[in-house]
Amino acid sequence: MDQIIEKLVSVKPSERQLSWQEMEFTAFFHYGINSFTDREWGNGQESISQFYPKDLNTDQWCESIKAAGIKGCIITAKHHDGFCLWNTAYTNHSVMYTPLKRDIVAELAASCQRYRIKLGVYLSPWDRHEATYGQGKIYDDYFCNQLTELMTNYGELYTVWFDGACGEGSNGKKQEYDWNRYYQLIRKLQPNAVISVSGPDVRWCGNEAGDCRPSEWSVVPAAAFSQSEIAKVSQQSDDTEFRSRKIDVMDLDLGSRDALRGIEELIWYPAEVDTSIRPGWFYHKSEDDKVKSLEELQRIYINSVGGNTVLLLNIPPHKDGYITHYDRERLQELGKFIRESFSNNLIGQASLKASSTEQPFDVTNLNDNSESYWKAEDYCDYCNISVELKDNHLIRYIVLSEQITCSQRVEMFTIDAEIDGAMCTVYNGTTIGYKKICPIHPVITKRIVINFIQFRKSPVLKSLCLC
């Protein structure tokens, strides 16, 4: 058993994966020719002369997402229709050949610098306009030339986001993507960027509805996430049912001991939850009254950011180039909820005790701003952390974070609170990972105990928040 456990905890994140996870909450901007044609997926034959936003303002985009506490954004530099939002030298099917004649990626990059937001790009390998699509290396050369432009002309990128869509081009042919070539190019030009979804660094959670697994593991089998397996679950056509489907019950357990038993190769492959603030990914006026409610976004945030994933929330700009007040108001409400719910950590007013402790233990060892952490003794049978506050406080959330540089370890835990002089269980949990937000029925208490019931080798906790 010790040998199996040592193998599990030996799998750890790379520096780029760790930096990505620390962002927690990011945004997607789906913008392009579809914003003008009122479609989700274009066919590559659209007249780009209609692309003429009257009020394009990427500063307003960044200001809008900043209000929600979002730390990074991804722009659809090219969707499946092949229309490019930057000044590319390799096709006339770009924003520079429209009445606008402005490099939108460059403008967003400058806005991101002003607002201290990290920038990422989405570049669809499927191109329904480009004549060389389906011709093998000729198209791969074209695609890599465009990748090179985006990787070298717009500053540091935190992610390059690929989906697995692969359909016919304008010539009726499909392309076999040279993924390894794309990856090598990105590693060379943007070594700190994670390659997401159809890539080796970040995996898709499995749906676009904001649905999350109760137990999300970052240590998973390598073979289950090969390019052939990713292609099977990727969206290959515009399908409203696909956008609203939940996680399949067969995919709920990706990383338990039972799921990993007998697996030879394991990888660190954390999940991203992507969903749109509206039913569609591009802007549609008919959806102005269908923006997700604050309550729905709160649920998604708690279950995703608070469930060992990063939340990627799509906010589609209006065709005229701004975020509508419907979306802005919801983002402001969500940001207010996040700040008011999680900014006041009572742990600074507490004394802490722990069983089976390997190293000296005090409150600074469980502070988000500290590089230190608490670690239990290796291979202990059980351990806990007892938190004693000076006075009674109303507590709604308990937030736990593992030190994932030591891998992901906790498999089962409970939280007890002293209520009217008796200890009562207020939360039952499984995985923690980078962050676990535990919403509890609000209690007034001055004593909380976190019991680690099952774990790999030993729990290693980076931070603890009572709020």
Question: What would the DSSP string read from start to end of 86-146?
Answer: S--SS-SSBGGGSSS---HHHHHHHHHHHHT-EEEEEE-S--SS-TTTTSTHHHHHHHHHH
- Co-location of 332 and 411 in the same domain: no
Q: Is the pLDDT of residue 306 over 60?
A: yes
Q: Is the pLDDT of residue 51 over 90?
A: yes
Residue given tokens 């304008």 in the structure block: 170
Q: What is the CATH number of the domain that holds 357?
A: 2.60.120.260
> Among 196-200, 247-251, 398-402, which stretch is predicted with the lowest mean pLDDT?
247-251
pLDDT at 249: 42
Q: Is the pLDDT of residue 363 over 50?
A: no
Task: Give the pLDDT band (50/70/90) at residue 14.
Answer: very high
**What does the alpha-carbon distance between residue 55 and residue 64 come to, in Å, rounded to a whole number?**
15
pLDDT at 239: 54
Question: What would the DSSP string read from start to end of 164-228?
Answer: ------TTS------HHHHHHHHHHH-TTPEEEESSSSBEE-S-SB----SS--SEEESGGGSHH
- Co-location of 319 and 176 in the same domain: yes
Over residues 370-378, mean pLDDT: 81
Count structural domains, the chain: 2
The token pair that represents 330 in the structure block: 């919801």
Which residue range(s) make up the domain with 323? Answer: 2-342
- Co-location of 316 and 401 in the same domain: no
Q: Is the pLDDT of residue 313 over 70?
A: yes
- Co-location of 378 and 325 in the same domain: no
pLDDT at 267: 96
pLDDT at 372: 72
Residue given tokens 């403008």 in the structure block: 107
DSSP structure class, residue 357: B
- Co-location of 322 and 353 in the same domain: no
pLDDT at 167: 84
Q: Which of 320, 342, 364 is the endpoint of a domain? A: 342
Distance, CA of 252 to chain centre: 18
Model pLDDT for residues 68-77, shown as the tens digit of each residue:
999 999 999 9
Q: Which of 342, 358, 388 is the endpoint of a domain? A: 342
- Residue 250, judged by CB atoms within 10 A of its CB (0-12, 13-18, 19+), counts as exposed
- Co-location of 329 and 362 in the same domain: no
- Residue 216, judged by CB atoms within 10 A of its CB (0-12, 13-18, 19+), counts as buried
Beta strands in 337-459 (DSSP E): 350-354, 374-375, 383-402, 410-419, 422-429, 436-455
The H-or-E segment that residue 4 falls in is: helix 2-9
pLDDT at 242: 45
Q: Is the pLDDT of residue 360 over 60?
A: no
pLDDT at 164: 81
- Co-location of 270 and 127 in the same domain: yes
**What does the alpha-carbon distance between residue 456 and residue 317 come to, in Å, rounded to a whole number?**
45
The dihedrals phi and psi of 430, each to the nearest 5 degrees, come to -115, -90
Pairing mode of beta strands 309-314, 271-276 = parallel
**What does the alpha-carbon distance between residue 418 and residue 413 come to, in Å, rounded to a whole number?**
17
Model pLDDT for residues 443-459, shown as the tens digit of each residue:
999 999 999 999 999 99
Model pLDDT for residues 417-426, shown as the tens digit of each residue:
999 999 999 9
Instruction: Give the 3-state DSSP-derived string for 287-335, with helices as H, strands as E and coil as C.
Output: HCCCCCCHHHHHHHHHHHCCECEEEEEECCCCCCCCCCHHHHHHHHHHH
- Co-location of 227 and 312 in the same domain: yes
Q: What is the mean pLDDT of the chain?
A: 91
Task: Give the pLDDT band (50/70/90) at residue 250.
Answer: very low
Task: Give the pLDDT band (50/70/90) at residue 168.
Answer: confident
pLDDT at 357: 63
Does the predicted model carry a pTM greater than 0.75?
A: yes
- Co-location of 196 and 82 in the same domain: yes
Q: Which of 327, 342, 357 is the endpoint of a domain? A: 342
Over residues 334-348, mean pLDDT: 94
- Co-location of 318 and 356 in the same domain: no
Q: What is the CATH number of the domain that holds 26?
A: 3.20.20.80
pLDDT at 243: 46
Q: Is the separation of the CB atoms in 370 and 364 below 8 Å?
A: yes
- Co-location of 328 and 428 in the same domain: no
Q: Is the pLDDT of residue 65 over 60?
A: yes
Report percent pLDDT > 70 for the chain. 91
Task: Give the pLDDT band (50/70/90) at residue 351.
Answer: confident
Task: Give the pLDDT band (50/70/90) at residue 225.
Answer: low
- Co-location of 251 and 106 in the same domain: yes
